[in-house]
């Protein structure tokens, strides 16, 4: 049941991806957010006038990552995976598969422990660099894209500005989201409910779409 649930949700999002991008002044049937595009800053402040949808997945690898990758491959769509540090053999295979199949491997902290990460900038740096090195050792890819745990305007850090300055100083790119399906808030939502929230969020957002699925 869980596999069907996840499949319906991802397919619904992909369908909206195609429809949304077909409405722009230029038609792009799917948007590839590759490692190279991300690291070159393609994702930031784009002046292109077509509508774009970016699929992003946080907190993985999870039990569903392999299925997500299968669905993305079937529909020839690329995504960005903001991963955390996991040392299981399954997780290691998923990090490698994300890269091998042309998706963007991005960082979301090693521990995802808010109290630990936001204790001070030193602790934040240690966590970030640990994840970056871990992923590089596994994949030969050194990620330069980051998503703050809780977002860059979160209330978990008493003052987020020093952490943002650190990320900027390190030459990293950081991205939040502007469309949510709230799957982390309510685990009992149907695929239809999740997709409805994503569609609504995208319709209310101008220009670039960043979907946190």
Structural domains of the chain, with CATH: 77-176 (3.20.20.370)
Please state the rounded mean pLDDT for residues 60-68: 92
Digit-coded pLDDT (tens) for 165-204: 999 999 999 888 765 555 555 556 666 766 676 666 566 6
For residue 123, the SS3 value is helix
Phi-psi region of 79 (alpha: psi -120 to 50; beta: other; left: phi over 0): beta
User: Which pTM was predicted?
Assistant: 0.72
The three-state secondary structure class of 52 is strand
11 and 71 Cβ atoms separated by less than 8 Å? yes
Preceding amide of 9 cis, omega within 30: no
106-122 mean pLDDT: 95
Return the ∠ at Cα 137 (arms to 135 and 139), rounded to 5°.
65
Query: Tokens for 190?
Result: 């149907």
Quote the pLDDT of residue 42: 43
* SS3 state of residue 128: helix
């Amino acid at each position: 049941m869980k596999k069907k649930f996840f499949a319906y949700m991802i397919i619904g999002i992909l369908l909206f991806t195609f429809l949304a991008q077909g409405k722009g002044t230029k038609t792009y049937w799917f948007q590839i957010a590759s490692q190279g595009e991300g690291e070159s800053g393609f994702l930031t402040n784009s002046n292109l006038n077509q509508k774009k949808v970016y699929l992003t997945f946080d907190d993985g690898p999870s039990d569903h990552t392999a299925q997500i990758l299968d669905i993305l491959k079937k529909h020839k769509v690329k995504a960005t995976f903001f991963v955390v540090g996991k040392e299981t053999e399954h997780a290691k295979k998923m990090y490698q598969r994300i890269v091998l199949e042309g998706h963007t491997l991005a960082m979301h902290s090693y521990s995802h422990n808010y109290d630990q990460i936001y204790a001070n900038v030193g602790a934040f740096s240690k966590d970030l660099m640990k994840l970056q090195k871990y992923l590089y050792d596994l994949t030969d890819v050194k990620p330069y894209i980051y998503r703050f745990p809780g977002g860059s305007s979160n209330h978990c850090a008493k003052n987020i500005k020093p952490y943002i300055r650190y990320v900027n100083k390190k030459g990293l790119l950081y991205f939040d989201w502007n469309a949510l399906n709230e799957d982390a808030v309510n685990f009992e939502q149907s695929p239809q409910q999740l997709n409805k929230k994503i569609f609504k969020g995208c319709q209310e957002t101008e220009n670039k779409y960043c979907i946190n699925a």
